[in-house]
Structure 1
């Protein structure tokens, strides 16, 4: 399956054949590992009463899918996939997409820094891909019940190990940071940013680009994160430099 492709998995509910319309619980799973996406979708449908799972292979495709939905019960992201620059993106998602009830990470990374940064971003949990099916199911259940899921491995990183890690980091010779590369934005994000620079409102951008209001919001969230800004004014300034307009 190509990166960025969107697929959906549908659960067959009792009564569906008789024309019943159960209240739909929708999940978005964003991961460029197709087999893991399929497995996670199966767990969500079987164990978590999720009716429909939208599967995407990139952060941008996930944002587009979220923008097309009126409500998303839970959105799950891998930290290492196309378009995912780090947990900070989740903070912007939480701020701009109020129709997404729960946001969490399922990642192969077991780094303490990744876990803490993810939870600090406002995510509702961090799950490791190495976890078994039962542990993943229980973690998802906790998140959907309104609790924050913290992986057990975080408790295994004791203060002595954490202190040793800090000492090792401090002992390394200081290296001057390389100049930050210009943020990579997609053609669609570039067009949205250009219109923002020219003072267009979200409603005007949506109308001119024939996009939904939710889709414009998620593009804005991605742009804020990539530009390292927190509001439209700062984004306009950064966009002027980036686009040369």
Structure 2
């Protein structure tokens, strides 16, 4: 079994890597960012069986990114391992089509049991979801896009190198295929990055994203 662990916390990666290599005999790869994870997923060799994603690592844009990953890698088992027990985060991830949501506070035994459920074809939903009260924190499906502002609050320095590349091409009005050719990337990979930029920019349409991107890189 090939497993990818993507998290910007080294201790979390090390713990999960040990769990899978020692407990499941899996071949494990590790990434600190979404860019790094995509390099592994798009790399040569056999496909990965399972990918674990942290919601807060660089490059991630919540449910938008997860949904794009599911579309690009339909045969991949995708799960979230997060420190967030917010109902909105759980529901957003699950509605994006992930196969499970794991809290970093879970015991190793509970995580292992949940991963077995996923690899057997099931879905793991944390018991904490039913214990978290519903209310203002609970969206219907996915969190709404933030309202765009006249002056984007996004700083180019906060983007990953690949996202900055995509942003530059987006600012010039290039489409997904054009960006993919220019950066020698798969179209699905470009879509993941564009979706992350849309969310970061607070854009609700392509024309709005292009306008905001153009002002941002001036």
Common fold: TM-score over 0.5: yes
For the residue of structure 1 that corresponds to 2:55, the secondary structure is: coil
Aligned to 1:130: 105
Contact 1:29/1:37 (8 A) holds in 2: yes
CA shift, 1:77, in A, is 0.9
Deviations 1:104-125 (A, max 9, x none): 1011111111111110111110
The reply to whether residue 47 of structure 1 matches residue 23 of structure 2 is yes
The reply to whether residue 191 of structure 1 matches residue 162 of structure 2 is no
The reply to whether residue 220 of structure 1 matches residue 191 of structure 2 is yes
Structure 2 unaligned regions, length at least 5: 138-146
155 and 144 in structure 1: CA distance in 2 versus 1, 3 angstrom threshold? same
Contact 1:67/1:217 (8 A) holds in 2: no
Q: Which has the larger radius of gyration?
A: 1
Structure 1 unaligned regions, length at least 5: 1-24, 168-176
Aligned to 1:141: 116
TM-score (norm 2): 0.75
The correspondence for 1:110, drawn from 85, 91, 97, is 85
Contact 1:48/1:140 (8 A) holds in 2: no
Contact 1:76/1:106 (8 A) holds in 2: yes
Aligned to 1:57: 32
Aligned to 1:26: 2
Q: How many residues align?
A: 197
